[in-house]
Structure 1
């Protein structure tokens, strides 16, 4: 798998609610649409490309710890995100060019204020992942997708660009001191071969009818789907 071969499919977000409030928030915040088939369906955030989607997944467990996976968003103003239902997190670093916020269920996101001419229709800027060793796990995913691992000297984060199927600018891995203790509230789905992922060091967690749930070497859950038939 050193030559890549995997492809990004979509994001998934857990909810212990009915899914509608958080789904509608993320649809509006990202410039997408929210759809559901009925009251028993938590729904989906749907964009103009498959990779823009966020599948809302109902789970029994509530959110108990800070998200280790979150999204950075382009926004015209922090007030715009607040009007959609987000709240500004109590702890901020004045030196950061972003504002840490919480969605209606407490999931972390970061708002990056842009000038109107820089505001894209699809407003996800980056996918950010906390890591014990961001260089190692970034390199693992770079190898999986066949892209370059990027880094700026003097920083504690590494990132990927031009991932096949990924519609946002970058996938960032940043160093944090705390270990992963529970299942990630947000995860990603990819197209790829399960045996190839396992050969690279992924762990198979369980099987579903249409996909396989795996964990990368840092324990981040992801779902592997077979490539669709052409």
Structure 2
């Protein structure tokens, strides 16, 4: 779920970037609860291919460059300033400019959070680039998309604008250490908001 000032505009950007089918599979948009003020703590990594025009296709859709780390990657922003990373060395979608290959979540204790979520969703834990166990593989419903927990030292200053959803009994999540706010919002042990679909026992 993605908070947006103009959900239709952000959905249109990501539909054009990823292809409508992939956008609908991975992303949903809703009217924001408050304006974006800081860097998102959840973002996508996308492959765009090695063609010279690969990034230009995203820029033509309304993306802009925030930081140049080439030849490895570029940090871009979508039409509402949501950060994402584009990797020229990874193939794009068959017809679309980009393909999601990872969801990244910031954490000052990424190994701990990766282990908690692996147990909740039944994912396999693998090493990140520093060889610590903080990348999740085989997340149900995500196909080959990797869930990366990225080490940061900045302090959380507000709710996540991008959050994930799962179908799991709520009571099981609460028993494992999740919290529920008075408005029903669920938080993982490090304060990340997430959504839960209704299921037996929820």
Output the TM-score relative to the length of structure 2: 0.86
For 2:28, what is the secondary structure of its paired residue? Answer: strand
Q: Contact (CA 8 Å) 1:156, 1:174: kept in 2 or not?
A: no
Count of residue pairs the alignment pairs up:
193
Q: 1:62-211 alignment to 2 at 5 Å?
A: 62-76=35-49, 77-89=54-66, 91-94=67-70, 97-114=72-89, 118-121=91-94, 123-152=99-128, 154-155=130-131, 158-206=134-182
- What is the aligned-residue RMSD (CA, Å)? 2.2
Cα drift, residue 65 of structure 1: 0.3
- Could you say what secondary structure the match of 1:158 adopts? strand
Equivalent pair of 2:114/2:133 in contact (CA under 8 Å): no
4+ residue runs of structure 1 moved beyond 6 angstroms?
A: none
Shift of 1:92: 3.4
Q: Is 1:152–1:158's contact at 8 Å kept on the other side of the alignment?
A: yes
Alignment match, 1:53: 26
Structure in which a larger fraction of residues adopt strand: 1
Change (3 A) 1:215 1:109: same
Structure 1 unaligned segments of length 5 or more: list them.
1-11, 35-44, 47-51
Higher relative contact order (CA 8 A, sep 6+): 1
